[in-house]
Structure 1
Amino acid sequence: MGIFIKVLFYVSGFIIFWAMIGYPVSLKLIGKCYKSRKLEKDYNHQPTVTVMVVAHNEEKVILEKLNNILELDYPQDKIEILVASDNSTDQTNNIVKEFIKKHPERKIRLYEVKARKGKTNAQNEAQKTVTTEYLVMTDANSMLDRNAVKELMAAFTSDDIAYVCGRLSIVNREASDVSSAEAGYWDSDLATREIEGRIQTITAGNGALYACRNSEYHDFDHIQCHDAAMPLYYALKGKRAICNHDAVAYEKAGEVIEDEFKRKVRMNRTILMAILPDIRILNVFKYKWFSYFYFGHRTCRYLLWIAHLIVLLSNALLLANSKFYLLTFTGQLLFYLISLIGTVTRTKNKYVSLIYYYTVTIIAQWFGVYNIVTGRAKPFWEKAESTR
């Protein structure tokens, strides 16, 4: 029994260590072996493109978003704008219709989803009306750099590249400790994705800005999101999903922990499925680096919720064995105490805020698991107001 508890302790501890420290460090070392491999671009590649914006009750930002798309540096005769309104009940649809009337010279369409089933369903429905060669998808509250679409298209330099995502830049990182922590997380994750994409393929994208060939679009289940599902889908088909961080989308992070917590809970609505969504991922001989990437970047992170619980409980049962276990248990208690202090005081200390933010992330995973088990996981959500 003692050996079994020790195995639980060390395996859980390894998962936490590998997810947060081991994998990022190992990837940097591996990346140095591929430092000569650069992202290839072809700016002469300017195919027809539809920029799709999925919106549910986005009256606060939809006008700014449409004007932002009009300012994109891309041939007007090769770009279309499609707003997929997911059963909006505010003024979103009227604003879009009025905008279309004011710009008859541009190809702008509104697709109204009659029954609200979430973002992925809206994308599935609207995509069936698209006739352009490529599809660029972006969120209503994400403002694009002028060269964003041009950069995305320039990265499709070969047939094996099926997906390209851009870089999400947080514009309000100094607004609060929450937005600062989220911006720090993105900085770290973007560095990881850049190396993954340069070597072979990324394990996840972001909803702010990404593109795929219209002919290779896949209808995913409504509960899934493209961020996680698309790169995985293409990777298992032997295709590459990469990132071009010169294609930039600007967005506000949640400025209050309540907004950020809700966002993380809904992000984890498929967490149990995402731990190992397809057994084929383990075939390192076929999928090569992708198997390594997915285990370190996804599987271990999606196991943090249970790993932290097991390492704490098993550590408690091992206290009498040696001073080492007393030290590790004390360290864990101190970690959670610091997080509690951050909760109560909302201090601006960056180290306390970081620990607090990390703990909130783990709790959000637990809520995600709870929603899945109880059947409460839904494909749609209410937007965070502090991100608008």
Structure 2
Amino acid sequence: MTVATSLFWIFLFGAVYSYFLYPLLLILMPKRRRVEAISETMPPSISPPKLSFVITAFNEENGIRAKIENTLTVNYPPELLEIIVASDGSTDSTNDIVLEYAAQGVRLAKVDEQKGKENAQRFAIDQAKGDIIVFSDVSTRIEPQSLHIIANAFLDPEVGAVSSEDRFITSNGEVAGEGAYVKYEMWLRKLESSVCSLVGLSGSFFAARKEICADWDITVPSDFNTALSCVLNDKAAVTVPNLLGFYPNLADESKEYQRKLRTVIRGIAALFNRIEVANPFRFGFFAVQVISHKVMRWLVPWFLAGLMLTNLILLGQGFIYQLIFIGQLAFYTVATLGWVSQKLRLNSLIKIPFFFTQVNIAIAHATLQYLGGKRVTHWKPSKR
């Protein structure tokens, strides 16, 4: 076997591992817990915990009122719920709108200078009085029973954080069908939650015990960092199928690339800040999850590039190499069609290759930017 042949099969394994073989590994692993819908009512013999509901906002004058109104519809004892809007240096009328709801128990936590979402969240955490802290974005809508579901999830002392499941809504407010990628990610979360612990949470709507939030790093994404904090504190982050967060797609699809760039740069920074979680001798199978879900996925674009290069070298070595090369050409040709025509992307057969290729180009770009010293702590939120 030549060096090129060995590298080809290594690159092929690396390209398919994170997306296909890792989920298969999770399916085969013994299950630690059942992932199922949680009751929407608290057992009568148990007193509900006090919750702090934190909404992070930066110049959200067009959306903050609807978000507060939505939050006020939740079915939870008002004496056990505080709503805090963490305004991240807003310069529009966001703060004034929030103050209109002071009589209804909504509190403004005003950060004078914009320093990023995580900084505003930490500012709110320092003021929060709840045992459980719930985090939600302005664009995310929740259901009235959501907080009871969260409270019931934390009846399990092993649970340190709870993640919602993502649902998209259309421009006219109707729930849209789940895309293939969202379905895949939610399915993968269920598997991770049942085997060990989530590697990441839904940043738009999640909750954590206050002690898990004690070590809050303002330089890295709170959804990923909170999942890591759970394991570092001998707790688990879990997903709850009937805890739903509804949010619209990006208004400008061209912003998706920039969002992915930002997410990967911040994710790499978060992992390197807590690289010990990748040690299987200390953290067992969770370390395998981190490497499989994050590190191996960040390496996919480089595996794909190596696969194409070695495939070209081996074209004359047999039919299997020719077949795989034709498959690669066909896949990237379809992806290119999606790139040149937004209308063609409405077809799932084109949208999936396009999205996969776009994501991996963004991952490669973000990795190079990270290695070049770029860090992202705050940004202008994408319009939804």
The TM-score normalised by the length of structure 1 is 0.88
TM-aligned CA distance change 1:9 to 1:270, over 3 Å: farther
Deviation digits for residues 32-74 of structure 1, max 9, x if unmatched? Answer: x678676776824511111001111111110000011110010
Task: Give identity over the alignment, percent.
Answer: 25
Name the amino acid aligned to 1:123.
Answer: Q
Per-residue deviation, 1:25 = 3.2
TM-aligned CA distance change 1:25 to 1:223, over 3 Å: same
Looking at structure 2, the residues matched to 7 and 272 of structure 1 have their Cα atoms a distance apart, in angstroms, of 28
Looking at structure 2, the residues matched to 256 and 28 of structure 1 have their Cα atoms a distance apart, in angstroms, of 37
SS class of match (1:143): coil
* Partner residue in 2 for 1:358: 356
Looking at structure 2, the residues matched to 66 and 209 of structure 1 have their Cα atoms a distance apart, in angstroms, of 14
Per-residue deviation, 1:164 = 1.0
Is the Cα contact below 8 Å between 1:45 and 1:154 reproduced in 2? no
Matches within 5 A, 1:338-377: 338-346=334-342, 347=344, 348-377=346-375
TM-aligned CA distance change 1:279 to 1:121, over 3 Å: closer
* Partner residue in 1 for 2:253: 257
Name the amino acid aligned to 1:314.
Answer: T
The TM-score normalised by the length of structure 2 is 0.89
Is the Cα contact below 8 Å between 2:61 and 2:92 reproduced in 1? yes
SS class of match (2:101): helix
TM-aligned CA distance change 1:254 to 1:201, over 3 Å: same
SS class of match (2:109): strand
Most deviating of 122-131 and 309-318: 309-318
Looking at structure 2, the residues matched to 15 and 166 of structure 1 have their Cα atoms a distance apart, in angstroms, of 30
Deviation digits for residues 233-292 of structure 1, max 9, x if unmatched? Answer: 211332111111222111112254302222212111234446776554454455343233
Per-residue deviation, 1:377 = 3.1
Q: 174, 180, 185: which one pairs with 1:184?
A: 180
Is the Cα contact below 8 Å between 1:238 and 1:287 reproduced in 2? no
Name the amino acid aligned to 2:194.
Answer: R
Structure 2 residue 13 is the aligned partner of structure 1 residue 14: yes
Is the Cα contact below 8 Å between 2:220 and 2:270 reproduced in 1? no
Name the amino acid aligned to 2:300.
Answer: L
Is the Cα contact below 8 Å between 2:7 and 2:310 reproduced in 1? yes
* Partner residue in 2 for 1:121: 119
Is the Cα contact below 8 Å between 1:37 and 1:198 reproduced in 2? yes
Structure 2 residue 87 is the aligned partner of structure 1 residue 88: no
Per-residue deviation, 1:297 = 2.2
Name the amino acid aligned to 2:105.
Answer: K
Looking at structure 1, the residues matched to 171 and 62 of structure 2 have their Cα atoms a distance apart, in angstroms, of 21
TM-aligned CA distance change 1:39 to 1:170, over 3 Å: closer
Looking at structure 2, the residues matched to 319 and 268 of structure 1 have their Cα atoms a distance apart, in angstroms, of 34
Q: 214, 217, 228: which one pairs with 2:213?
A: 217
Matches within 5 A, 1:299-310: 299-310=295-306
Looking at structure 1, the residues matched to 18 and 162 of structure 2 have their Cα atoms a distance apart, in angstroms, of 24
Count the aligned residue pairs: 376
Looking at structure 2, the residues matched to 338 and 260 of structure 1 have their Cα atoms a distance apart, in angstroms, of 19
Most deviating of 349-358 and 300-309: 300-309
TM-aligned CA distance change 1:189 to 1:371, over 3 Å: same
Looking at structure 1, the residues matched to 13 and 140 of structure 2 have their Cα atoms a distance apart, in angstroms, of 37
Per-residue deviation, 1:157 = 1.9
TM-aligned CA distance change 1:296 to 1:353, over 3 Å: same
TM-aligned CA distance change 1:10 to 1:289, over 3 Å: same
SS class of match (1:222): coil
Most deviating of 38-47 and 21-30: 38-47
Root-mean-square deviation (Å): 2.6
Is the Cα contact below 8 Å between 1:276 and 1:299 reproduced in 2? no
Deviation digits for residues 149-168 of structure 1, max 9, x if unmatched? Answer: 11111101233211111122
Per-residue deviation, 1:94 = 1.4
Is the Cα contact below 8 Å between 1:205 and 1:228 reproduced in 2? yes
Matches within 5 A, 1:262-273: 262-273=258-269
* Partner residue in 2 for 1:50: 52
Looking at structure 1, the residues matched to 49 and 271 of structure 2 have their Cα atoms a distance apart, in angstroms, of 36
Q: 320, 324, 329: which one pairs with 2:325?
A: 329
Name the amino acid aligned to 2:338.
Answer: G
Is the Cα contact below 8 Å between 1:39 and 1:155 reproduced in 2? no
* Partner residue in 2 for 1:193: 189
Per-residue deviation, 1:85 = 0.7
Structure 2 residue 199 is the aligned partner of structure 1 residue 203: yes
Name the amino acid aligned to 2:179.
Answer: A
Is the Cα contact below 8 Å between 1:143 and 1:249 reproduced in 2? yes
Is the Cα contact below 8 Å between 1:138 and 1:207 reproduced in 2? yes
TM-aligned CA distance change 1:286 to 1:275, over 3 Å: closer
Looking at structure 1, the residues matched to 309 and 302 of structure 2 have their Cα atoms a distance apart, in angstroms, of 11
Is the Cα contact below 8 Å between 1:28 and 1:195 reproduced in 2? yes
SS class of match (2:134): strand
TM-aligned CA distance change 1:86 to 1:203, over 3 Å: same
* Partner residue in 2 for 1:163: 161
Structure 2 residue 241 is the aligned partner of structure 1 residue 242: no
Deviation digits for residues 353-387 of structure 1, max 9, x if unmatched? Answer: 111111111111123223323334322222222x2
Structure 2 residue 346 is the aligned partner of structure 1 residue 382: no
Specify every segment of 5 or more residues in structure 1 that has no aligned partner in the other structure, as ranges: none
